[in-house]
Amino acid sequence: MKKINIIVCLIILILLIGILISLNVLYIHLSNSLKLNGKKEIEINYNETYEELGVKKIKLFNKDLSKNVKIKNNINNKKIGKYKVTYTLKFLMFKISKTRTVNVVDKTEPTITLNGEEEIYICPGDFYEDEGYKAYDEYDKDITDKVKRKVDENGNIIYEVEDSSGNKVTKVRKIIREDKEPPVISLKGNSTIYVKLNSKYNDAGYTLHDNCDVNPKIEVINRVDTTKENKYEVTYKATDKEGNVSTAKRNVYVYSEANAGIVYLTFDDGPSGTGSTEKILNILKQENVKATFFVTSSGPDYLIKREYDEGHAIALHTSTHDYSKVYKSVDAFFEDLNTVKSRVKRITGLDATIIRFPGGSNNTVSNNYNYGIMDILTKEVLNRGYNYFDWNITSGDSGECTTSSCVYNNVVNRLSRQKVNMILMHDIKMFTANALSDIIKYCKNNGYTFKIIDSTTQPIRFK
């Protein structure tokens, strides 16, 4: 009996040892099977999202135990440092863990932003006063105070900054000691001047400025001959010590007052596609009389082409004739004017510079949109090479008249052989077209001469 008990104990001990060995083998197997995907130590950039790689499959008795692995981490991607990711597998009485190290680092270079241009031109011998700079790092934020600044052998300014993670950046401001700017000539008075025949021309002069040269040279070429009626140019040529050249020109028109009895037939607002412009052209052709058309962007192109081909003067009025747009600002006025100018250029090839303001140069309706703008525009159009014309006889066809007899009487009753007669009419009105033939016949019968407006015409302007 005693012998049997010893045998039983031995069997139990062997079984226990077998179980322990099996459990140990199982632990070793599970421990060896818990393997990480990817590296045990990885690196991500500051603010970069951490992407979990997980673990490899753990097979035991044809079962995948990797789904039982719990993953925990304390990663803060907004703060540089080392963080741990823990992978834990619990099976039976076993608890197996593996860790991965995640380093959050800053590998992004800081930036340096320069105030002003990166390439600076200064006069030879001048000192450049630094316009300043800013340095910013995504992690350290403002690090302007860490910028180191030095000047190289060529005078360029070099800026360098390093962030707390050792990332460096360098920026260069190139300083070029060279004068490329020509002198600036500003004419005193208007760039277009009208002088009476046989009177004295006194040049209004100029102001001269150069960015580097205190005393640039200037040559004035003045060949104005006031004894001859013509168009002249006064040329101003300035040269600085570096050889930069600039020029300016003033147009001087010498005109005669012996033009009394001259009639200028001028038509605004056309062309019209309803027949009135075509009728006016037919009458002018029949009477062998030339007129001046201040055109808009309305009406068909072929009528402007016909006006030009038949020897009439093509001048500019307005593209839209919308006072609220035209007189909104100086830029708006010239945008409108350039539109109709481009139309005339496209149709005729003419670079038209003779203009008439919508409403005339002294209109008050413009004050509703930009008070005092006419004071600016009457000077600015001359400075930009345009010449503007008002009128001293109105036909009344834009307001008081609605019949051809009214237009006829308004014109002939105001004609005078003691002056230049600048007549305002509108070729968009059929009753004006109906009055034209009689107006022309009256002028011919009473010794008047017809002319078109050109660059030598003495302007009629409101005061």
Give the other-Cβ count within 10 Å of 364's Cβ.
10
- What's the average pLDDT block by block, 10 residues per block, for the chain (463 residues)? 73 74 69 85 91 85 83 92 91 85 93 93 87 93 94 92 94 91 91 83 93 92 90 94 93 73 95 96 97 97 97 97 96 97 97 97 95 95 95 94 96 89 97 97 89 92 88
What residue ranges do the domains of the chain occupy?
A: 33-105, 111-177, 184-255, 262-450
Whole-angstrom distance, CA of residue 251 vs CA of residue 246: 17
Q: Spell out the CATH class of 262-450.
A: alpha beta
pLDDT of residue 334: 97
Which residues are registered as beta bridge partners of 424?
266, 394
φ, ψ of residue 328 in degrees (nearest 5): -65, -40
DSSP 55: B
Whole-angstrom distance, CA of residue 283 vs CA of residue 432: 12
Positions of E strands within 178-222: 184-187, 192-196, 206-209, 217-222
Architecture of domain 33-105: Sandwich (2.60)
Q: CA dist 24 to 31, 34, 282, 431, Å?
A: 10, 15, 118, 118
pLDDT of residue 79: 92
Q: Spell out the CATH class of 184-255.
A: mainly beta
- Whether 458 contacts 420, CB under 8 Å: yes
Amino acid at site 39 = K
Here the tokens at position 263 are 């009639």
- The answer to whether 33-105 and 184-255 have equal CATH topology is yes
Q: What is the largest CA-CA distance in the chain?
A: 167
Which of 248, 251, 233, 232 lies closest to 190 in space, CA to CA?
Answer: 251
Positions of E strands within 240-392: 245-255, 262-268, 292-295, 313-316, 354-355, 387-388
Which of 293, 279, 316 lies closest to 452 in space, CA to CA?
Answer: 293
The whole model's pTM is what? 0.53
pLDDT of residue 257: 61
pLDDT of residue 193: 81
pLDDT of residue 240: 93
Architecture of domain 111-177: Sandwich (2.60)
Q: Strand 168-177 and strand 157-162: pairing?
A: antiparallel
- Whether 387 contacts 192, CB under 8 Å: yes
